[in-house]
Structure 1
Amino acid sequence: MNRFSNLFLVSLLSGAVTLGTYKLLFDQNGFLSKNNDGLVTVAPDYYGKRTGFSPENVDFTEAAEKTIHTVVHVKNVSRRTISNPILEFFYGYGGSQQQEQIGTGSGVIISEDGYIVTNNHVIKDATEIEITLNNKKSYKAKLIGTDSKMDIALLKINADEKLPYTAFANSDSVKIGEWVLAVGNPYNLTSTVTAGIVSAKARNLDTSGIQSFIQTDAAVNPGNSGGALVNTRGELIGINTMISSPTGSYTGYSFAVPSNIARKIIEDIMEYGNVQRGILGVEGGELNSKSSKELGVSQTEGFYVSRVTKRSGAEKAGLQKGDIIIKLDNQSVSTFADLSGYINTKRPNDKVVVTIIRDGKNKVVPVTLSKNEYFNTEFKGLELENIDANDKKRFRLNYGVKIKAITNENLKQYETELLGNIILSIDNVKATDIETVSKLLNNKEENQSIRIEMINHNGEIFRIII
């Protein structure tokens, strides 16, 4: 009887195991179930729920709560005079009137005593700036300083209380795929939070200024400019600056100035009153399969040095034409944006350890960055340099490059007329500074003619083609 009971129990368990295995593997929704398309593996319903890759496991609430109170609304009031020549001609009055224009954006409080960072384009040409906190309190703001090249401005308000503020994170440590929050004031609303991931780093959009944006797919709309891009701990990793859109509203991607660049600009403005720019002193371009083939090099990533600037830190350190820069300190360099983005966080006389490939071998070269004023370039026998404060004052300019010397034999006969002239544009592109001009000229072929607009000693504007 005992033996019969044991045999029955074994048979029962065997049947249960067989039935369970069939249900698990072959029945509907089993691991090896079939559908009309043939044999496929179908994950059970619980697969993908609350795994490490799921947004349900990321808590945005703490970061949002910390950030919304540090993001402010920025109101820019500007006034301009509009003339009516018809009324003035016929009636002798009503020739001009004041017109008020209002622009809006966002800003980020970075200290408890009221310093605020925003975009330069948000407060450009403002005669009056008003800040509204998330608690609806409003204050008049003072403009401390700006950097139009990197689109950053620093404001200050005098509040009657200590203000919540956002701490800066190291934007070089941000990883592609990392969750981020964009906080700003789109459409004149109070602080609004959107979430997304970092889509790309060191994104080059061929702007005349910054070439190293953080790209994200967090929704950013008009009014978000100057707002905060933060990580899931609520730390500032970027200042939202622009969107890529044919409509003017968000359609997929937005871009932010990395926090390391913004922080360096702010510190410069507070300590020196202006931005201190360090220059490595090399010209060239980033490598890819096409350019590598043309240059006859096997490396397809990095920055190829086509020219070393005279008297620069790069020349003094021994960098040469043909060197391929692959790393600055511990930061890898694959593109021009990688190089320019890292150098933009440095000042003159800072030391940077440059790793290069020369003759197929890696070499480490320490370079002391030189001042921006010493940076010059040469193209078609014209040696160019940045204009100084005297030139800016004399010609009432805030941009341009000066012709310092002429080595082109065909232009030597015009040396008296050309030397010292200030170039305003090249092929209708504004000659903002030497860095902009160098990048523009590097894309030109040697035998390609270019159209130059310049201003001479007498303040006369004329154009030449060389």
Structure 2
Amino acid sequence: MNKTKLFLILGSLATCLLAPINYAILPESLTERISNHLLSQALEPEEIRQQAEAISVRVKTNNNTGSGVIIGKAGNTYTVMTNAHVIQQKVPNKIVTIDGEVHDAKIIHQGNSLEGNDLGILTFNSAKLYQVATLVANPNIEENLRVYSVGFPEEMKEFYVAKGLLKIQAPKPFIGGYRIGYDVDVKPGMSGGALLNNQGQLIGINGLLKAPILNEAYTYVDGSKPFRQQIENYRQLSFAIPIETLVEVAPNLALIPSRGDNPV
């Protein structure tokens, strides 16, 4: 074999061996394209507000008020998710929809029936069309993600939207299932309301407000506790229960509808 042929063979082998190196940059460029795609899907704040108000309800009992979000519809029966601590057994529970109508609510699940998570499931009947939230099976949970916390504060008569940034996802759930930490000042009355991403999708349920009276709120479900400094950091944030929790404990309730399926 002469030297020319040998160089040609070695050159071909080198090309084969080095070619995969070109693909090493693909994940980075792919990530950039995905990020740009997600940004292009982000809704304007006013669009978020309109969508959030359409899927939100006020939840009332004899001596308590909170918020909720419509997560399903079957025939004339709507399903609403809220916090377990918002609703009460053995007393009337009412749901007030966007049009001001008051509906009798039936408790389907509460707390212990959802594996101890601070979630409650109600239903109400109506022939009217109300919008259903878009749930995300695997939402993009990352630091500084733009989020919107919504609901009906006790101190206000109108619907309220507060925007902020997602700051942390706790390494494991706190008692009640709380895990997503964000820098929004959630107000009393917004418990049970929706936490939305910048595409208007439901990623969590409000419920654990900033700086609770007792630090026991930051006890993990396994009984362990964060370090003192971690607790101090957590006290600066509000926390929500991730929507995946409902998917895990009650998958039949956590339907993932497309936007086109939502009644308007």
- Asked if these proteins are the same fold (TM beyond 0.5), I'd say yes
Q: Distance in 1 between matches of 2:247 and 2:159?
A: 22
Segments of structure 1 that go 5 or more residues without pairing to the other structure are: 1-56, 78-101, 271-466
Question: Is it true that 1:244 corresponds to 2:206 in the alignment?
Answer: no
Contact (CA 8 Å) 1:63, 1:234: kept in 2 or not?
A: yes
Q: Distance in 1 between matches of 2:106 and 2:61?
A: 12
- Cα distance change, pair 169–124 in 1 and its aligned pair in 2 (3 A): same
> Among 151, 157, 163, which residue is 1:184 paired with?
151
Partner of 1:167: 134
TM alignment of 1:23-172, pairs within 5 A: 59-77=44-62, 102-112=63-73, 113-148=77-112, 149-172=116-139
Q: How many residues are aligned here?
A: 187
The structure with the largest helix share of the pair is 2
Q: In the TM superposition, what is the alpha-carbon distance from 1:217 to its structure 2 partner?
A: 0.8
- Cα distance change, pair 246–174 in 1 and its aligned pair in 2 (3 A): closer
Name the aligned partner's letter for residue 62 of structure 1. E
Secondary structure in 2 aligned to 1:124? coil
Q: Could you list the per-position Cα deviations for residues 379-426 of structure 1 after superposition, in whole angstroms to 9, with x for gaps in the alignment? A: xxxxxxxxxxxxxxxxxxxxxxxxxxxxxxxxxxxxxxxxxxxxxxxx
Q: Could you list the per-position Cα deviations for residues 281-326 of structure 1 after superposition, in whole angstroms to 9, with x for gaps in the alignment? A: xxxxxxxxxxxxxxxxxxxxxxxxxxxxxxxxxxxxxxxxxxxxxx
Partner of 2:181: 215
Contact (CA 8 Å) 1:224, 1:240: kept in 2 or not?
A: yes
Name the aligned partner's letter for residue 253 of structure 1. L
Contact (CA 8 Å) 1:184, 1:224: kept in 2 or not?
A: yes
Q: In the TM superposition, what is the alpha-carbon distance from 1:145 to its structure 2 partner?
A: 1.5
Q: Distance in 2 between matches of 1:243 and 1:227?
A: 12
Contact (CA 8 Å) 1:236, 1:259: kept in 2 or not?
A: yes
Q: In the TM superposition, what is the alpha-carbon distance from 1:265 to its structure 2 partner?
A: 3.1
Q: Distance in 1 between matches of 2:90 and 2:149?
A: 25
Question: Is it true that 1:195 corresponds to 2:180 in the alignment?
Answer: no
Contact (CA 8 Å) 1:218, 1:254: kept in 2 or not?
A: yes
Q: In the TM superposition, what is the alpha-carbon distance from 1:135 to its structure 2 partner?
A: 1.7
Secondary structure in 2 aligned to 1:62? helix
Q: In the TM superposition, what is the alpha-carbon distance from 1:120 to its structure 2 partner?
A: 0.6
Name the aligned partner's letter for residue 215 of structure 1. G
Q: In the TM superposition, what is the alpha-carbon distance from 1:106 to its structure 2 partner?
A: 0.5
Q: In the TM superposition, what is the alpha-carbon distance from 1:204 to its structure 2 partner?
A: 5.0
Q: Distance in 1 between matches of 2:252 and 2:208?
A: 23
Secondary structure in 2 aligned to 1:170? coil
Q: In the TM superposition, what is the alpha-carbon distance from 1:123 to its structure 2 partner?
A: 0.6
Q: In the TM superposition, what is the alpha-carbon distance from 1:125 to its structure 2 partner?
A: 3.2
- Cα distance change, pair 265–234 in 1 and its aligned pair in 2 (3 A): same
Question: Is it true that 1:262 corresponds to 2:228 in the alignment?
Answer: no
The structure with the largest strand share of the pair is 1
Q: Distance in 1 between matches of 2:105 and 2:69?
A: 13
Segments of structure 2 that go 5 or more residues without pairing to the other structure are: 1-41, 215-234, 255-264
Secondary structure in 2 aligned to 1:114? strand
Secondary structure in 1 aligned to 2:125? coil
Name the aligned partner's letter for residue 189 of structure 2. G
Q: Distance in 1 between matches of 2:45 and 2:105?
A: 31
Q: In the TM superposition, what is the alpha-carbon distance from 1:162 to its structure 2 partner?
A: 1.8
- Cα distance change, pair 144–240 in 1 and its aligned pair in 2 (3 A): same
Question: Identity over the aligned pairs, expressed in percent?
Answer: 28
TM alignment of 1:305-454, pairs within 5 A: none
